[in-house]
């Protein structure tokens, strides 16, 4: 493996997070929650922005031991054809969704770059905000996605421990730790406006993962200061293959981690998906989390046809409908926002604007 970037081990970039997560920190979790809530209210107000994932394909070329889409799983594989993508987008739009995240497995001949770009072009005709969570790409490829209407991308490093990463990714292009680590920077250099990153909690020691994630956020915010950076907090969920995480993360640690990131990074969007339970998601709304997924389907083609064939990447924990979830937010005096992005802002930024070193 090539030399790791200096920022990954720069403890000064995560000193405040380390202090907030330290067992000897005098602030109890209730005090952290109160400070996180005050910071969230001051910077974001009483809103939660909502998005929904759309799984385009479950074909994959990699062998991630923890993933239901790994190439050695025996469940049926499929991808959405153009007419099916249209049906899915219309079904999502009928729910009021205006912010979509398009997902695929790792790059394959069945669902590669050209397929993803065409899907973005279709989605951009229906949705004011289109983002992707797919395979790593080159700067030129991300520029092409931005031209097609893509405004954001999400990619999880999964684990920031290089040795652990190698053991978890048995084969395929995803085995390249640095290729994945550098992907958000290539996306921003290519004109993508926002990037979302995270560690898949449960794969490695959680405090170390939190600190490495904080360093990554700080590095991106400093290097690409005009871009938007968001942080997700996914935990391992049951999936085909039955992988059991060696470092399970309980609710108390996850809550403390979210509060610490909100206090230390007051302007960064913090994201919580339907991997988490309704109880936990409702509790975190307004206490640090500012963005959530809603009515998620983790099968390929799950919105237009809920009985659609194909494996799930992971089990969803919060199965509430969009209406039920919005009602729960409003009961806490929090306003759900389906669209806070106008297509007038979807023109890709230039390399000079995106990469201010």
Position 347 in a domain: no
Mean pLDDT lowest for which of 8-12, 64-68, 215-219?
A: 64-68
Phi/psi for 19 (5° steps) reads -65, -40
Residue with tokens 């009985």: 307
Position 86 in a domain: yes
Question: How many domains, the chain?
Answer: 1
Position 151 in a domain: yes
User: In sequence order, which residues have a C-beta less than 8 Å from that of residue 14 and are 6 or more positions away?
Assistant: 210, 211, 212, 214, 215, 218
Q: How confident is the model at residue 48 (pLDDT cuts 50, 70, 90)?
A: very high
Say what the pLDDT of residue 279 is. 95
Position 356 in a domain: no
Q: Are 317 and 275 in contact (CB under 8 A)?
A: yes
Among candidates 69, 102, 75, which has minimal Cα distance to 174? 69
Q: Are 67 and 241 in contact (CB under 8 A)?
A: yes
Q: How confident is the model at residue 307 (pLDDT cuts 50, 70, 90)?
A: low
Cα separation values, 51 from 238, 333, 339, 343, Å: 22, 19, 9, 16
**CATH number (domain holding residue 127):** 3.20.20.70
Position 65 in a domain: yes
Position 30 in a domain: yes
CA–CA distance, 212 with 312 (Å, rounded to integer):
29
pLDDT of 149 > 70? The answer is yes
pLDDT of 94 > 80? The answer is yes
Position 258 in a domain: yes
Q: 3-class DSSP state for residue 192?
A: coil
Domain of 278, in residue numbers: 6-337
pLDDT of 314 > 80? The answer is no
Three-state SS sequence of 298-317: CCCCCCCCCCCCCCCCCCCC
In 190-249, alpha helices (H): 206-223
pLDDT of 132 > 60? The answer is yes
Rg, C-alpha atoms of the chain: 19
Position 16 in a domain: yes
pLDDT of 241 > 70? The answer is no
Phi/psi for 262 (5° steps) reads -65, -45
CA–CA distance, 238 with 69 (Å, rounded to integer):
12
């Amino acid at each position: 493996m090539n030399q790791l970037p200096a920022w990954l081990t720069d403890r000064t970039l995560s000193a405040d997070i380390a202090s907030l997560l330290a067992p000897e920190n005098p602030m109890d979790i209730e005090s952290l929650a109160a400070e996180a809530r005050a910071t969230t209210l001051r910077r974001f107000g009483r809103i939660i922005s909502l998005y929904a994932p759309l799984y385009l394909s479950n074909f994959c070329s990699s062998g991630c031991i923890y993933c239901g889409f790994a190439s050695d799983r025996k469940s049926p594989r499929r991808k959405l054809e153009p007419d099916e993508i249209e049906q899915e987008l219309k079904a999502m739009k009928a729910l009021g969704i205006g912010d979509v995240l398009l997902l695929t497995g790792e790059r394959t001949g069945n669902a590669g770059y050209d397929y993803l770009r065409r899907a973005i072009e279709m989605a951009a005709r229906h949705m004011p905000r289109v983002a992707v969570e797919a395979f790593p790409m080159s700067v030129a490829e991300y520029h092409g996605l931005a031209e097609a209407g893509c405004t954001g991308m999400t990619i999880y490093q999964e684990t920031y421990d290089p040795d652990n990463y190698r053991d978890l990714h048995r084969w395929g292009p995803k085995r390249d730790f640095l290729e994945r680590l550098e992907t958000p920077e290539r996306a921003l250099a290519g004109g993508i406006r926002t990037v979302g990153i995270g560690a898949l909690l449960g794969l490695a020691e959680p405090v170390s993962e939190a600190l490495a994630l904080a360093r990554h956020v700080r590095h991106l915010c400093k290097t690409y200061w005009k871009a938007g950076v968001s942080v997700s907090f996914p935990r391992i969920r049951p999936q085909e293959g039955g992988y059991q995480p060696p470092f399970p993360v309980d609710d108390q640690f996850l809550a403390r981690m979210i509060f610490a990131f909100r206090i230390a990074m007051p302007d960064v969007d913090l994201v919580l998906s339907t991997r988490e339970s309704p109880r936990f998601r409702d509790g975190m709304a307004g206490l640090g989390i500012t963005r959530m997924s809603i009515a998620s389907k983790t099968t390929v083609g799950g919105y237009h046809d809920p009985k659609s064939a194909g494996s799930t990447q992971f089990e969803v924990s919060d199965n509430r409908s969009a209406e039920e979830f919005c009602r729960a937010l409003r009961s806490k005096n929090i306003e759900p926002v389906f669209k806070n992005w106008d297509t007038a802002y979807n023109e890709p930024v230039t390399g000079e604007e995106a990469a201010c070193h």
